[in-house]
Amino acid sequence: MDALEILSDLENCFPYFQPIFSADEQCVIAYEVLGRYQSAGEVMSLGPFFHDGQIPDEYKFEVDILLVKKALEKALELEEDVRFFLNRNADLLMYGHGEPFLQELLAFEKRGLSLKRIVLEISDRNYQGDLDQFDHLLQYYRTYGIKIAIASIGSESHYFERIGELEPDIIKINLQALKSTATGINFNDVLFSLSLLARKIGAALLFENIEMSYQLQFAWKNGGHYYQGYYLHPPAAEFIRRDFLKYRLKEKFHDFISYEKRKLEAVFKTAEYFQATVQEIVIKNRKSSYDNLFQALIKELDGIAFRMYICDEDGFQKSANIFKGKNGWNSQSEYLNKNWSWRPYFLENIIKMRHEQKGRLSDLYCDIDTGETIRTFSFPMNETDYLFIDISYQYLFEHDQLL
């Protein structure tokens, strides 16, 4: 893309707006501002222009500030609670120490545009400057009510460190990774960690690049507050009605809710089955050795479980692992006396079992040893001993509502 051609033809640079929808109201709550350029009747993205490292920052700033002005001019037409997401990489934001950009925003504030409606979608991944100065600038902008969003999900530790340091108002998650089966599992693991972090710092999750129904369902299931993508609405030169997708999204959410209810019902019934089955076996073998108890459990759960063991209330393993390998069940005595209290939710679940006097079926998680997705049923045998039964992926796959 020829930078000089664009700079000499700024009247043909203009903003496009991609709507962002909310989960709670199922309506448009914001627009992301995207740059477009029209040449010879063809409308093209200005993305390559802004990402070209050979183009000077002052050229990029001139085009960018023009787009911002045109976008905010149109923003004055909309309701006062509609937000605008402005993409800013660190170099562009730091241009002129951030002051020229802020002055443009303040000029619109004088015309009635609340700066609380502005969300800066920032990226500093390739920034070579002083990050402390950059962070100070963002905090300064926040004093005016401007919100901060961090764009795109990355697997590198830098991304999580920056979220912890900046504590953004919104975390944007790119769903392109869901298209790849190779990255699907890792993506889910990273997303789980990210959702916990977002909850801790009070950030909302915005899922972008939603192009299919299953991606919308994924975003809804994983705590997405906001949604954006071609499946919902492509970028356009004009705004749309705020309730444009309200009926369609309500129908979609109803389908998602019904599906999740069926899954939760299946999990509940499975937990009840394990509770009744295991309780009966434990009572019958109350005075028996661990070996006899395990043999009785194996007889009943051979096609379901692949590992069993007993721990005390502090997480110290009181039995060997009883593990089902390729050649059948065998004892792994090296696990005797190992401690598992460091595992997330271990002690919390022990206390819940003690007070409720019933077993618990865990969420899905990845087993450290096998690498497979499993669930664990834990059961209070008495005041001090707790039985753990790991359920195989094969069984979960055959009962797919448990996955």
Beta 328-332 vs 360-361: how paired, if at all?
unpaired
pLDDT at 338: 97
Instruction: Name the CA radius of gyration of the chain, rounded.
Output: 27
Q: Which amino acid is at 26?
A: Q
pLDDT at 178: 65
> For residue 268, is it within any domain?
no
* 179 pLDDT more than 70: no
Q: With contact defined as beta carbons under 8 Å apart, do 191 and 222 qualify?
A: yes
Clarify whether residues 254 and 281 are in a common domain. no
- Which one-letter DSSP state was computed for residue 236? B
> For residue 269, is it within any domain?
no
H or E stretch covering 33? strand 28-39
Clarify whether residues 106 and 168 are in a common domain. yes
SS3 content of the chain, % helix, strand, coil (to 5): 45, 25, 30
Write the pLDDT tens digit of every residue in 140-172.
999 999 999 998 654 455 777 888 889 999 999
- Give the total number of structural domains in the chain: 2
Number of Cβ atoms within 10 Å of the Cβ of 132: 9
Q: Given CA atoms 351, 356, 361, 364 in this order, what sign does their dihedral have? A: negative
> For residue 131, is it within any domain?
yes
355: containing domain: 274-402
Helix H, strand E, coil C: the string for 313-341 is CCCEECCCEEEEECCEEEEEHHHCCCECC
* 182 pLDDT more than 50: no
The residues, ordered by sequence, that sit 6+ positions from 259 with a Cβ below 8 Å of its Cβ are 217
Clarify whether residues 203 and 88 are in a common domain. yes
Helix (H, G, I), strand (E, B) or coil at 138: helix
CATH number at 73 reads: 3.20.20.450
Clarify whether residues 219 and 317 are in a common domain. no
> For residue 266, is it within any domain?
no
Clarify whether residues 284 and 157 are in a common domain. no
Instruction: Tell which residue, 397, 393, 387, 389, has the closest CA to residue 329.
Output: 389
Among 224, 258, 292, the domain-final residue is 258
State what percent of residues in the chain have pLDDT above 90.
78
pLDDT at 155: 47
CATH number at 309 reads: 3.30.450.20
* 290 pLDDT more than 90: yes
Instruction: Tell which residue, 306, 303, 304, 308, has the closest CA to residue 292.
Output: 308
pLDDT at 310: 98
> For residue 267, is it within any domain?
no
Clarify whether residues 287 and 191 are in a common domain. no
> For residue 36, is it within any domain?
yes
Write the pLDDT tens digit of every residue in 33-78.
999 999 988 999 999 999 898 999 999 999 999 999 999 999 999 9
Clarify whether residues 165 and 22 are in a common domain. yes
Clarify whether residues 358 and 247 are in a common domain. no
Clarify whether residues 253 and 282 are in a common domain. no
